[in-house]
Structure 1
């Protein structure tokens, strides 16, 4: 359930749009570039950026993408272009580039490790593509991470979808992103879709990868911030809390600043 009331959603929307516009104007850029995945986070982020009136470039970057993801992304882009004249789009198919990369590196590793590493490689190829378009069009790369992903369980790729210039929805829980998406008239196909990162070329959901739903992880994040421990819970709640703590600990290297060896402390 969303943590922001319906009466607050309009204010949140206005606040983020003003923040985006002010940041872009101060940075002296033309607008924003966003990778469109067919999911709720990129749909909401691109709609927020579109409301600034600045240039918004939506980029599709398929790599063996499930057709359902492609269809949802295209539906959203077409709807957004009809609503906002400042929105344009382009598709850069990275499938052949990804396959070429695989031919140049050794692949004789444990299956689970290899699949995860290649999934992260997809995200990093997309980041490079977004920064290409950002450079030639003088745009900022808008991140699509939400609060529970970015600061709770670290469910993103370092220097992949984590490589951005600014993060407009990173202080919103996933449930709040869905609520804002409904307000912003994001297509029903996206609002009703099961969250998936689409990095494995199949329909596997985020919940299958994480071991818990976003609602469960939001609950665990709140309980952890209040000082609770796994011993305070039993059954499924205990399991979810332990999943959250394990992911949060394992992914601190994503959430913390890059460590610097300071010579003056020798």
Structure 2
């Protein structure tokens, strides 16, 4: 990958898109992870207005620390960057307490995790609306188009996706080039939706490097029998996530009405 040229291409794309849309710049939710760090830095490089938003909800201490370290560094490097902290813990608590009480289950935990992501999406669009900004998404190619590892109408609810054509390994390469803080580069990827330090690998059952290989194997229709035992396991994990998350990966289905039914 030609890192400098890819970086310049994304920055120009972001700048052109904002200009055509008639907005001042971008708002980015900063989580302390590499994807949001790269996205916010790329947005900052446009010279347009950039708002970094922290949105803790019972957040793990390490996430908060990394997010703040990145924001401080970014504001020092770019004068067009501002930040705001919207603590959503009280909002989430009120929402949770208003819901019917049901027994603890994986389904309830997942629903509450997705609720956190959707509260954050609403918050980003509030800040974007009052400042005439667009919401920049932070999803990468493996998450968005491989395993669908994001929340529909949560972190998937964005205006633009500047890094969605980059594999996770490519995001790390650009992050190094952009001088993202070392603490973020070394941190294990985590969506931060469950309070504890529950990594993406813990939830998926495979690392992003493994998922990238499985994604490539699937795209090439490789005979799974030729793979090692671990590669076969990861391939099945990838295929399972890809299949069940097609409702995220594909456009929303539209019920098309036959023309003869619309005629009077």
TM bucket (normalised to shorter chain) is over 0.9
Partner of 2:60: 66
The offset of 1:110, in angstroms, is 4.6
**TM-score for both structures, normalised by structure 1:** 0.96
Q: Which residue of 174, 185, 189 maps to 1:180?
A: 174
Could you say which residue in structure 1 is the equivalent of 2:41?
A: 47
Partner of 1:205: 199
For 2:174 and 2:8, the matched residues in 1 are separated by 11
1:193 corresponds, among 187, 190, 210, to 187
Number of the residue aligned with 2:29 = 35
1:108 aligned counterpart, secondary structure:
coil
Kept in 2, the 8 Å contact 1:230–1:242? The answer is no
1:260 & 1:100 partners in 2: Cα distance?
Answer: 34
Matched, 1:86 2:80: yes
State how far apart, in whole Å, the 2-side matches of 1:28 and 1:228 are: 46
Structure 1 residue 233 displacement after superposition? 2.3
- Shift of the 217–103 alpha-carbon distance from structure 1 to 2, 3 Å rule, reads same
- After TM superposition, list the pairs within 5 Å mapping 1:100-249 onto structure 2: 100-249=94-243
Aligned to 1:18: 12
For 1:47 and 1:154, locate their aligned partners in 2 and report how far apart those are by CA, in whole Å.
24
Spell out, residue by residue over 1:66-91, the C-alpha distance to the aligned partner (whole angstroms, 9 max, x if none): 01000000000000000000000000
Query: Displaced runs of 4+ in structure 1, greater than 6 A?
Result: none
Work out the CA distance in 1 between the residues paired with 2:121 and 2:220: 35
Q: 1:112-153 deviations in whole A, cap 9, x for unaligned? A: 111111000000000000000010000000000000000000
Any gaps of 5 or more consecutive residues in structure 1?
Answer: none
Q: Offset at 1:161?
A: 0.1
